[in-house]
């Protein structure tokens, strides 16, 4: 899938000396599904411990871009991915690091919550168990810590062994966040995480993001302009597989440089 040779890789990685304030750097990323060019020459940088919003209309390739970052694109044989994605200093598209450990650097929050078909407790402990943690005390501690982190502990502490599916959908989404945080990622990939939620649950998730960005870098995909304005520290606007504009959100939303973004801002408001 990755057609760059190893020698090229080392050359590229020296060139791409990552600034310490950046955690992700994407260079010349292209994704094809057959003849369909889904992502076109993506070049971007994502700042550390900030909320970066990927904004754009549905079908513009935001989700695919997100899936490239934790290599879920591997699941789809029809997708051809080329270019480089540096996470910290490792080009994950051309690396020998094993995929599970790359994925554990990132927590994924999808459009609707997908709790595993086990108990609440075991949803959170799942990632730890995969990492090989066997110490009960440590697992208990971690489960409580991360359920507290997402504000779910008080609601579920008396029914940790109940099936995760017995929670409300908003609670499930927070559980999925806790589950992702438990593997100690540095990045959180959030793919329209509030699109299936009611306004109150959405607000809880948004506030959570604001709280936890001290410790994590959040990459949020959304097509809701208001949400982008509320949360973004850095914004990237995409249309049709291309990055149209990126930069400081205030600047971007006040003085759009392109016709596309201007039109989107008008429609979105």
Partner 1 sequence: MQLRRKIFDKITGFWMITSLITILSLPLIIGTGLYLKAAPLFDQQSFFSLIFSSQWAPSKGEFGFWPFIAGSLYVTVLSFLFTLPVCLLAAIYLTQFSSKQLIKVMHPVIDVLAGLPSVIYGVWGILIIVPFVSKYVAPVFNTTSSGYSVLSGGIVLAVMCIPYILNMLIEIFNTVPVGLREASLSLGATRWESVKHVVIRGNFPGIISAYGLGIAKAFGETIAVMMVVGNVVKVSINPLDAAYPLPALIANNYGEMLSIPMYDAALMFAAFLLLVIILIFNMIFRYLIHKTKRQ
* Interface ranges with partner 1 (CB under 8 A): 67, 70, 72, 75, 77, 100-101, 103-104, 106-108, 110-112, 114, 116-118, 126-127, 130-131, 176, 179-180, 183, 189
Closest to partner 1 by CB, 83 or 113 = 113
Q: How far is the CB of 70 from partner 1 (least distance, A)?
A: 6
| Dihedral angle over CA of 152, 153, 154, 155, nearest 10 | 50
CB of 34 to partner 1, least distance (A): 13
Q: Give the residue with the Cβ less far from partner 1, 112 or 203.
A: 112
Q: Choose between 152 and 189: whose C-beta lies nearer to partner 1.
A: 189
Residue 223 C-alpha from the chain's centroid = 15
Q: Which is nearer to partner 1, 131 or 213 (CB)?
A: 131
DSSP state of 164: G
Cβ partners under 8 Å of residue 25, min gap 6: 16, 18, 44, 45, 46, 85, 86
Find the DSSP H helices in the chain.
6-15, 62-69, 99-103, 120-131, 136-149, 153-156, 169-181, 199-212, 225-231, 249-254, 259-268
Cβ 158 to partner 1 shortest distance, Å: 19
Q: How far is the CB of 129 from partner 1 (least distance, A)?
A: 9
């Amino acid at each position: 899938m990755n057609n760059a040779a190893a020698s090229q890789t080392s050359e590229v990685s020296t060139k791409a000396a990552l600034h310490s304030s950046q955690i992700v750097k994407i260079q010349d990323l292209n994704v094809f599904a057959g003849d369909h060019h889904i992502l076109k020459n993506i070049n971007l940088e994502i700042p550390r411990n900030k909320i970066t919003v990927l904004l754009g209309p549905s079908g513009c390739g935001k989700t695919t871009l997100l899936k490239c970052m934790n290599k879920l694109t591997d699941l789809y044989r029809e997708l051809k991915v080329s270019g480089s994605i540096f996470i910290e200093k490792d080009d994950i598209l051309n690396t020998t690091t094993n995929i599970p450990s790359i994925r554990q650097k990132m927590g994924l929050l999808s459009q609707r919550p997908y709790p595993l078909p086990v108990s609440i407790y075991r949803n959170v402990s799942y990632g730890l168990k995969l990492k090989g943690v066997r110490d009960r005390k440590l697992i208990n501690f971690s489960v409580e810590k991360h359920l507290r982190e997402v504000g779910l502990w008080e609601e579920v502490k008396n029914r940790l062994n109940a099936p995760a599916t017995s929670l409300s959908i908003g609670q499930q989404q927070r559980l999925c966040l806790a589950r992702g945080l438990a593997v100690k990622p540095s990045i959180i990939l959030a793919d329209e995480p509030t699109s299936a939620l009611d306004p109150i649950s959405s607000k809880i998730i948004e506030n959570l993001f604001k709280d936890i960005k001290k410790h994590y870098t959040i990459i949020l995909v959304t097509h809701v302009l208001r949400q982008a304005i509320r949360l973004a520290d850095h914004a990237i606007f995409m249309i049709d597989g291309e990055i149209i504009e990126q930069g400081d959100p205030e600047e971007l939303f006040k003085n759009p440089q392109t016709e596309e973004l201007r039109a989107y801002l008008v429609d979105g408001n």
